[in-house]
Amino acid sequence: MRRVECWGVVLCGLLGAAHADEAALRFSAPIEVRQSAAFVQLPLPASAYAHSQQAGLNDLSVIDARGERVPFALLGPRANEAKTDEQSRPAVLYPLPPKSAAGGTWPSPVEVTVDGDRISVRRQGGAAGHVDPAHAAGWLLDLGERQPKDPAPRSLKMQWSGPAEFSVAFDVEMSDDLRAWRPGGSGQLMALASASGVLTQPRVMLPAQPGRFVRLVWSDQRSAPVLTGAQVIVEKHRSVAVDAPTELRLAASPEPAGKTPLDEASKRALHFDLSGLIPVVQLDLQLAPGTHVAPVRIQGRQRADAPWQDLAASVFYRLERGGNVSTSPPLLVQTTVRYLRLIPDERAAALDATQTRLIVQAPLATLVFATQGQSPYRLLSGSATAPAGALPATTLVPALDEEHPRFGQATLGEWSEVTEVARRAEAQQRRAALRPWLLWSVLLVGVGGLAFMVWRLMRSPPQASA
């Protein structure tokens, strides 16, 4: 029995050593700090995902020149920021004549002609169309035609010729046809002289849906400036990517055979290997020169032995018209995959594997580490069982938003295999291949030992009774 126990100890020792070896990190890449700071950010390239053996890059580790661990965190791409751009165009101004004495209404200095969807505006003849700007009771502004898809004007920026100082209130009315008017609020224009220069307030704010025509009436014409122009201010909102995704340009590669043989779709499909589990937000297809229309079905999977999953269907095209080339818009997706394949519609032509490229937009993570310890630093990866090494971002960097603009910059060098770890991994594979034989050996030795003990007991003479 002691021999059986001894074999068990040997086997347990081998299994324990193998488990310890699995936590070793097999790959290493140098980190080149280009801009030093207390915290340095390293945008991870696709190669970091390719050398990681765990989802979410859990097996990454940063060490210094002495092999000591360096604390780090992984940051995902920041959310896009909303930006507002101001665009301006000139408005047409007409001095407003005094109100009529009879009805108390404002005569129009212009007349409008409607022809279908078009409105033509021209100056009135007579006294209503010829008013001295210096004695205008107000102003009529033509903001111009606006298409339904165009954003509405948000304000008017007024320009004047004098006086140097003034402050005057005004009321605003709006109309689409110069007949029906609705109130648009009130405000004040002013210019004040100071030691540092002239301070002005030239803006006339407009409601959410202004009409084409704006009537600005002075509360006190004697205090009003002489307007020389006005700019229509339009705000356009856009989303700006703070951390733009990384562009990967991939050539087609043979589809690796998994546990099941390749299906019929594989014969027509283009297969692409992203080298690692990559987050994908956008796909585009660069087709061969000429005119091509490619309706395709897009599939993905995370492992070579996993079944394909449908992700999307789209039509990519490249059209040549008289020297001009137009292409299809990119396809938006949200997935994390290692392998992609594009299956052309059976009614369409096959894709040229040599000239077709898949363009992938991938929001890759950024690694941030504290520059403690002794430089240079290295990034390690490549273990299926290593515990997660990254700290929460707010633990590593207490005031993350404030510190982010002060981050240093680093890049990652070429990956290499750690020789000692690679040898241990190969030895581990050999031991893993021997495990079934060791188990059978232990069982056979145990059975043989029990059989020998039974045989000895059967051959021993019975003891005489006292």
| 85-239: in CATH 3.10.20 | no
The whole-angstrom separation of Cα 157 and Cα 450 is: 102
Other CB atoms closer than 10 Å to residue 13's CB: what's the count? 10
Output the CA–CA distances (angstroms, integers) from residue 69 to 58, 62, 66, 308, 397, in the order listed: 15, 6, 9, 39, 17
The whole-angstrom separation of Cα 12 and Cα 431 is: 12
pLDDT of residue 16: 41
Whether 233 shows a pLDDT value over 90: the answer reads yes
pLDDT of residue 197: 78
Q: Hey, CA dihedral for 33, 278, 47, 383, is it positive or negative?
A: positive
The whole-angstrom separation of Cα 362 and Cα 282 is: 7
Please tell me what DSSP assigns to residue 238: E
For residues 110-124, give the mean pLDDT. Answer: 62
pLDDT of residue 14: 35
pLDDT tens for each residue of 54-93: 888 999 999 999 999 999 999 988 877 778 888 999 999 9
Whether 240 shows a pLDDT value over 80: the answer reads no
Please tell me what DSSP assigns to residue 165: S
Percentages helix, strand, coil for the chain (3-state, rounded to 5) are 20, 45, 35
Statement: the pTM of the whole predicted model exceeds 0.85? no
Whether 452 shows a pLDDT value over 60: the answer reads yes
pLDDT over 70, % of the chain: 84
Domain ranges of the chain: 1-24+418-458, 27-76+370-414, 85-239, 246-362
pLDDT of residue 465: 52
Helix (H) or strand (E) holding 205: strand 203-205
Domains 85-239 and 246-362 fall in the same CATH topology? yes
31 and 42 Cβ atoms separated by less than 8 Å: yes
CATH architecture label of 246-362: Sandwich (2.60)
| Average pLDDT of the chain to the nearest whole number | 84
Residue in 157, 156, 34, 77 with CA at minimum distance from that of residue 410:
34
pLDDT of residue 63: 95
Q: Which residue has the higher pLDDT, 17 or 322?
A: 322
Answer whether the bond into residue 376 is a cis peptide, omega within 30°. yes
pLDDT tens for each residue of 123-167: 655 545 577 888 888 999 999 888 888 889 999 999 998 788 999
pLDDT of residue 219: 92
Q: Hey, CA dihedral for 291, 296, 302, 306, is it positive or negative?
A: negative
